[in-house]
Amino acid sequence: MVKICCIGAGYVGGPTMAVIALKCPKVEVVVVDISVPRITAWNSDTLPIYEPGLDDVVKQCRGRNLFFSTDVEKHVAEADIIFVSVNTPTKTRGLGAGKAADLTYWESAARMIADVSKSDKIVVEKSTVPVKTAEAIEKILTHNSKGINYQILSNPEFLAEGTAIQDLFHPDRVLIGGRETPEGQKAIQALKSVYAEWVPEDRIITTNLWSAELSKLAANAFLAQRISSVNAMSALCEATGADVAEVSHAIGKDSRIGPKFLNASVGFGGSCFQKDILNLVYICECNGLPEVATYWKQVIKVNDYQKTRFVNRVVSSMFNTVSGKKIAVLGFAFKKDTGDTRETPAIDVCKGLLGDNARLSIYDPQVNEDQMQRDLTMNKFDWDHPIHLQPMSPTSVKQVSMVWDAYTAAKDAHGICILTEWDEFKTLDYQKIFDNMQKPAFVFDGRNIVDADKLREIGFIVYSIGKPLDSWLKDMPAVA
Ligand code: NAI
């Protein structure tokens, strides 16, 4: 029986391994992690991450051929194939601080593999890593090899949170990069045969190591760029009276552009886009390509601009101050159908409003108060370390309260900011909400999910990103 061990039981390691176990009943899969609470949760009825369909997959194979354990060394030693899916945060100090990937966790995983291995191993990069990481890992392993043969493969993960299980069941492609030697090709075939249990052959792409590593960074950079492009257009739409939804629809009909990923919003978030672009920027700089680096940096700048622009709209339209005013924040996760708050635009928007002394009442169906307080007090990039190593916030933000439904959040509020596109926000009883708010009552829709005309009929002043402005908003321009 082939034995797989995955180091890192996070948003990637957990779901990917659960799906491999489900689709390959003859393979034994053990997911290991240094975080005891995380492994305990994976072994309980309340999994550590929320992902539609995940519970069902885990229930079907946990205890059969899927196991979660903190006994990292034992399972690594026994495995034939080792996936490494640990954190790759942005460095916060030293060389490349604020840009380069911090490979501390990766390196310690590689050294541990070298320490405990007694048989040949295929080591698979699942984490997103800088190009040429495989070479560094190879060096660590071969310099400590005790005669053991290691093959390094790059198999970046393209799942999107919120649709992870469907993405894993029906991937657009699986990418496997390896050495062009006979041993490298054999390792590629071994991993390919795992995926081939459920993924059609023509969707399994094999490349050299560096192409696979760079493709993941490139994919995230292109996706984020698309969001920043449509968001940049949204600012111009507001200035000219064009409607960004109409523009997106019109350009998306061009088959060269395509209709997906063209929704304007308050900005992108999630653990990957910003981190991976910063990493790409750093790699460009290191390779003497400052113009290319500047080009990609602009994607992040526009994203930051979009969040600032949103806060400025809120403050300026409410008579240029939100001091002491209650603002309801609907949604805190970086997108719907996940509880993940890493780099969510809600953090910057909330901080911006708190900077103007607002009182916030936040509701998100999947995010608890602890997490929100942690996010609002943590330093940039600290979130991307194993949970038990993250600093606990010494104080909480007093002007923030968390509630468990949208109506309580909006009661007596002056304005509502919709920051995540949860479906339930589309069907709220907005008349009831309006009746219980201060007047004039504002809705700032950061995801363009409400029926703005209907809300205006009720009496709200509505701001929708990239849409023609209410006369109220036109009269109160947002100047940074
Ligand atoms: P995560 O933070 O949810 O999980 C990483 C896990 O690794 C943590 O539970 C941590 O305790 C564990 N860990 C760290 N060092 C360890 C060690 N030495 N031994 C054992 N366990 C260790 O991170 P996530 O989101 O799963 O991301 C992992 C990697 O996958 C990152 O490189 C990320 O960029 C990449 N990725 C993430 C995607 C996402 O949607 N979250 C999608 C595609 C790639």
Q: Which of 6, 61, 237, 272 is catalytic?
A: 272
pLDDT at 1: 85
Pocket of ligand 1 contains residue 455 by CB under 6 Å: no
Mutate to test the pocket of ligand 1, among 47, 87, 129, 272 (most ligand atoms within 8 A of CB): 87
Is 90 annotated to bind a ligand? Reply is yes
Among protein residues, the one with the nearest Cα to ligand 1's atom 35 is 127
Length of the chain: 480
Is 31 annotated to bind a ligand? Reply is no
Pocket of ligand 1 contains residue 159 by CB under 6 Å: yes
Overall fold of domain 242-464: Rossmann fold (3.40.50)
Closest CA to 264 of 478, 452, 474, 448: 448
Cis ω for the linkage preceding 440 (within 30 of 0): yes
Pocket of ligand 1 contains residue 107 by CB under 6 Å: no
- 417 flagged as catalytic: no
Contact 25, 65 (CB under 8 A): yes
Contact 425, 418 (CB under 8 A): yes
Q: How far is the CA of 269 from the centre of ligand 1 (A)?
A: 16
Pocket of ligand 1 contains residue 413 by CB under 6 Å: no
Tens digits of per-residue pLDDT, 220-251?
Answer: 999 999 999 999 999 999 999 999 999 999 99
Distances (CA, A) of 23 to 39, 151, 157, 207, 414: 22, 24, 17, 24, 51
Is 161 annotated to bind a ligand? Reply is yes
Tens digits of per-residue pLDDT, 391-443?
Answer: 666 677 889 999 999 999 999 999 999 999 999 999 999 999 999 999 999 99
For residue 58 the two structure tokens come to 């885990």
pLDDT at 447: 98
pTM of the model: 0.95
For residue 76, the number of C-alpha atoms closer than 13 Å in the C-beta half-sphere is 22
Ordered by start, the domain boundaries in the chain are 3-199, 242-464
For residue 353 the two structure tokens come to 């409003």
Mutate to test the pocket of ligand 1, among 271, 342, 387 (most ligand atoms within 8 A of CB): 271
Pocket of ligand 1 contains residue 279 by CB under 6 Å: no
pLDDT at 339: 94
pLDDT at 333: 97
Q: Which residue has 């290991």 as its token pair?
A: 32
pLDDT at 193: 97
The CATH H-level superfamily of 3-199 is: NAD(P)-binding Rossmann-like Domain (3.40.50.720)
Contact 261, 231 (CB under 8 A): no
Query: Do 242-464 and 3-199 have the same topology in CATH?
Result: yes
Task: Please list the ranges in the chain whose pLDDT falls under 50.
Answer: none
pLDDT at 393: 64
